[in-house]
Chains A and B, each alone.
Chain A
Amino acid sequence: MKTFTYARADSVEEALAALAEPGTQLMAGGTELVNWLKEGIEQPDRLVDITRLPLRGIEEAHVLRIGALTTMSEVQASPWVRRNYPVLAESLLRAASPQLRNMATIGGNLQQRTRCPYFRSDTPVPCNKREPGSGCSALSGETGGLAIFGWSEQCVATHPSDLAVALAALDATIVVRSAEGERRIPATEFHTLPGDEPARTTELRPDELIVAVELPYIAPNSFYLKVRERVSYEFAVVSAAAAVSLAGNEIASAHVALGGVAHRPWRLTAAEAALSGVAIDDKAALGRAIEQSFVDARPLAGNEYKVILAQRAAVRALMTAGGAV
């Protein structure tokens, strides 16, 4: 590990000023950043601890606002969140061990980087995320955990955040700030697709800081399904966040996003339209509607199973959200 200095910022302004200096990394819970330091993914000259900034807390109003430094545990433990946003609470509960959830923050969670084994390799291998232009080892390698949507020849990685999938399904907004002021970025667009710039993970600019996450409406009929072979403490093979409103037994509106399938949470827009009017307990009809969003799935050699699994996960999440399981 390369030597670095450590300092604390006491205000958002101080943190933003620190960001202006090259070689600076901000650190909140540190649960992911410390991995990067150990794995050589980041080699900052200095760390600036932002855990004391006044960005912590939950405003429980019709629009839910969560400060970026609120811990995963705090959000998950909130009775308001549990009652009105089961999909959010579940995504946090399933994301990590209690030790990690007690440290990790909402803003930090969204900035995780892929778990692609080539990106995380302990000794460098060709990876366009680690070394732009070096190539993608995963494309012709072990693809079991990689993308089926939206990948490029440059990168086939997926994003590992569970929270991000729930936020994408709920039309959340990521509020970011720089010295120039605030920007609001839709959660569905906060994470980038790899395209020709695979080293990027999010739309966050180097001079910006996440200050809050906002959810515009409540979603009491919602659920987050995380599919993984180990029961706990593992990243998703695929996951599905679903929120529904029902008219009797039929779906009035549905929101569905998938995790583990792309470089960003993958919203099933076409399927959402097709789900309107489908009976919540009609598994076959739900499956046909979900299929609408899979016509453009492009599995890699070796992860074709994800195309089937992701559709079934979406159906299960919908039925659970709607009380039909």
Chain B
Amino acid sequence: MTSLIRPDGPAKLTGRATYAADTQVPDVVYAALAPATVPFGRVVEVNLKAALDAPGVIEAYDHTNFVPMVAMQAPMLGHSVIPLQQDKIHYDGQPIALVLAETLEQAQHAAQLVTATYADTGTPLMFDQAEDIGPGGPQWIPLDAVKGDHQAGLAAADKTITAAYTTSDRHHSAIEPSATIAWWEGEEVVLHSSVQAAAMAQPVVATAFGVPAEHVRVICPFVGGGFGSKGYVWPHLLLAAAAAKASGRAVKLVMTRAQMFSLSGHQPATAHEVTLAATNDGKLTAVRHYGVNAAARVGQYYEATTSASTWLYDSPNIEVHNRIREVDRPQPTPMRAPMEGMGQFALESAVDELAHELGIDPVEFRIRNEPAVNPMDGKPFSQRSLVECLRQGAAKFGWADRKPGMRDGNDLIGWGVAVSTMPAFRMPSSARVRVGSDGHVVVETGMQEIGSGLPGMVQLVAGEVLGVDPADVEVRHGDSSFPPHSGTVGSISTGALGSAVQAAATEVLEKLQAQPGDQLGAMVDAAGLEFVDAEARWAPDEASGGYSIQTYGAVFAEVRVDEDLGLVRVPRIVAVYSAGRIINQLAARSQMSGGIIWGLGQALLEKSVMEPTMGRFLSRNLAGYVVPVNADIGSIDVSFVDEADRIASPVGAKGIGELGATGVSAAIANAVFHATGRRVRDLPIRIHDLL
């Protein structure tokens, strides 16, 4: 495992890295949005007069006078209804007007002057009031999966537990709000936009305006945090492009923090029921996991929260079911970590409950139920070192010294463990590698750097294949005119882009094979060329489809719970991961630490309150939506099993960005139980749960 300091670091630290809204565009005008203030219904009339009369205002638009656009399905659209196209209101915060002005302040002030009347509105339906339904149409992860006979599994068991768990609505809350600067050059549109996937933005914008994809250029080298909120395509892109088309100007639209709570998705509240049954010697006989998530009334957004329950533990009888509840709210979207980020809290809490009932150490219980193959479909695992993670983690943490009744003054001390896992999502990626006769190596890819250190990863892979110093590899990224990358989403990038870079660099070497010497530049020169290049695309192959491919980890947490005040603090976490080849140890450790902190936020702080009478998120700001700060974070010890998964990807890597955020909340909740004897099954764990 190697370590490389990220090449993009100095530019970011000194403010030279150009984020979307930082891009200097001459004669740009500013857009601001006015939101709907009802949870559903119809806008009867939008009154733009006061806005139009305000200083500096160039134009104002509502659904009656805006550029028509064609909506693609969601996804890739975040919400399949594009605003300012019709009078129907689908959610509180839906834009009902867009104002263009010469300055940002003028645009925002004028937008506040927009008024509207509504009809056909009423009391919003809440998550705990709606019925469970199965989303229609094909699902990429089936709603239901059943193996064996659940009742037979219960009959064969000595102990059974059934418990209900919930997770809360959460918002991504990236530091950089979403932003787009757009202008048209004839039939072509250029967008500087804060997106995780230029490759998704491009076709959605092309469809919206009925132009060929190659007429849409999306530029985004750096994303100031996304966590899923910039993956699918949200209104700012389309509204900025449309306003630019309507006005003939370059238009800049930056989401306010409040708008980020309605117009870029959220992680939906989920509810779970888990039943686990086992014999007295700790062998599971039945696993059943039922999960349901909140969804908007259009799009039927679906979180497959029960997936890991199909592969994590061996059992002759396993069944999982997923449903959704359609409610009146803005559309959810994937958020670090989708699916298992919520589902693992339920499953791994339940495992802890059952192990406790059986009187078996929770590490030992998990090891006893380690499957040899995927227990649901029988496929071999491409690579799975979960038991090693548990053993290494237990040793590093000092788990053998765990005992009940640990305390220090007013603090009750508890230790908890849980397993992390994510499916290894895999999507295509491509890159071009060019070696000049001067020896200079350039890699080009459409990839967005989101803070995880992808340019450094590209340097390391290219450098390794070409035999050059990684720091000498120039990485150009973040432009849809470069070879496309599916997106910096779903933890796909290192496996996919790393493999594409590896293939392209290998092809360059093959082209130079006949040339004498071992200096790349001299070999290019000897071939009589200015440069040699190759573009390669990687996509998952059919052979790997025969395998069950995931990432794994074990998280150990210590908590201190103030027995009078109910405050939970987390002084230390130890985590060991099995995630294929770790290409840049330094960046990977940083990313896992961030994921663990993300999970700590889920466990103890993050809850976006859905106001029950208004159908909107109540505190659309970072004072009311609380995420961890430095003072919340103690020691975090991250390590990796040294391995490579060449079935998952030729470069041997699998994704880690989401993995780190799974299992953490369960480990903390399990530690709280160990400390206090109280089992908190609803996240986040708050003071009032522990008084």
B631 with A232: CB separation less than 8 A: yes
| A3 contacts B564, C-beta separation under 8 Å | no
CA distance A141 to B612 in the complex (A): 7
Chain B residues within 8 Å of A140, by CB: 613
A309 and B604 alpha carbons, distance in the complex (Å): 18
CB pair A316–B109 under 8 Å, yes or no, is: no
**A123 to chain B: which residues have CB within 8 Å?**
35, 37, 258
The answer to whether B612 touches A233, judged by C-beta atoms less than 8 angstroms apart, is: no
Q: Using a CB-CB cutoff of 8 Å, which residues 305-319 of chain B contact chain A?
A: none
With A141-B611, A230-B629, A312-B565 already in contact, the answer to whether A237 and B687 are too (CB < 8 A) is: yes
- Binding stretch for chain B, among A63-71, A102-110, A114-122: A114-122
**Per-residue CB proximity of A304-318 to B under 8 Å, as 1/0?**
010011001101100
B566 sits at the interface (CB 8 A) = yes
Q: Which of B112, B564, B619, B691 contacts A120 (CB 8 A)?
A: B619
Q: Which residues of B contact A121 (CB under 8 A)?
A: 618
Among A122, A144, A229, A232, the residue within 8 A (CB) of B621 is A122
* Known contacts A120-B619, A316-B564; is-contact A229 B686 (Cβ 8 Å): yes
State whether B626 touches A230 (Cβ < 8 A).
yes
B529: shortest Cβ distance to chain A, in Å? 56
* Docked complex Cα distance between A232 and B620 (Å): 20
Residue A284 interfacial (CB < 8 Å): no
Any A CB within 8 A of the CB of B624 = yes
Q: Are A231 and B631 in contact (CB under 8 A)?
A: yes
Beta-carbon contact of B258 and A309 below 8 Å: no
Flag whether B602 is at the interface (Cβ < 8 A).
no
Task: List the A side residues contacting B409 at CB < 8 Å.
Answer: 325
Does B618 contact A313, Cβ atoms closer than 8 Å?
no
Binary per-residue interface labels of chain A (7-47) against chain B in the complex, 1 for a CB within 8 Å, 0 otherwise = 00000000000000000000000000000000010000000
Interface of A is mostly: loop
Interface band, chain A: 20 to 34
The number of chain B residues with a CB under 8 A from chain A is 39
Contact A117–B626 (Cβ < 8 Å): no
CA distance A296 to B607 in the complex (A): 31
Are A2 and B109 interface neighbours, CB within 8 A? yes
Cβ distance B187 to chain A, nearest Cβ, rounded Å? 37
A218 contacts the other chain (Cβ, under 8 Å)? no
Least CB distance, A18 to chain B, in whole angstroms: 24
Classify the interface of chain B: helix, strand, loop or mixed: loop
- B413-428 vs A, CB cutoff 8 Å, 1 = contact: the mask equals 0000000000000000
Residue in chain B with minimal CB distance to A312: B564
B71: Cβ under 8 A from any A Cβ: no
Contacts A1-B108, A231-B632, A309-B566 given; does A122 touch B258 at CB 8 Å: yes
Instruction: Point out the residues of chain B lying under 8 angstroms from A235, CB to CB.
Output: 623
Kindly state the separation between the CA atoms of A309 and B567 in the bound complex, as whole angstroms.
11
Residues of the B chain whose Cβ atoms lie less than 8 Å from the Cβ of A117: 609, 618-619, 624
Question: Which residue of the partner chain B has the closest CB to A225?
Answer: B565
CB distance from B472 to the nearest CB of A (A): 40
Report the nearest A residue to B619, measured CB to CB: A117
The residue of chain B having its C-beta at the shortest distance from the C-beta of A304 within the complex is B688
Which partner residue on chain B sits nearest A39 by CB separation? Answer: B621
The verdict on B439 contacting chain A, using a C-beta distance below 8 Å, is: no
Question: By the criterion CB–CB under 8 Å, are B564 and A125 in contact?
Answer: no
For A2, the chain B residues whose CB sits under 8 A away are: 109
B551-594 interface mask toward A, CB cutoff 8 Å, 1 = contact, 0 = none? 00000000000001111010000000000000000000000000
Contact B565 A316 (CB under 8 A): yes
**Which chain B positions have C-beta within 8 A of A230?**
605, 626, 628-629, 631-632
Task: Report the Cα distance A142→B686, complex, angstroms.
Answer: 15
Task: Tell whether A227 is near chain B: CB-to-CB under 8 Å.
Answer: yes
Q: Which chain A residues border B632 with CB–CB below 8 Å? A: 230-232
- Please tell me if the beta carbons of A305 and B626 are within 8 angstroms of each other in the complex: no
> Knowing that A137-B613, A230-B629, A231-B631 are A-B contacts, what are 9 other residue pairs whose CB atoms are under 8 Å apart, sorted by A's residue number?
A121-B618, A141-B612, A227-B567, A230-B605, A231-B629, A232-B632, A305-B687, A309-B687, A312-B564
- What are 27 A-B contacts defined by CB distance under 8 Å? A2-B109, A40-B112, A120-B623, A120-B624, A122-B258, A123-B35, A123-B258, A140-B613, A141-B611, A141-B618, A144-B688, A229-B605, A230-B629, A230-B631, A231-B569, A231-B629, A232-B629, A233-B629, A233-B631, A305-B687, A305-B691, A309-B565, A309-B566, A309-B687, A312-B565, A313-B565, A325-B409
The 4 residue pairs across chains A and B that have the minimum distance between CB atoms: A305-B688, A232-B631, A122-B258, A231-B631
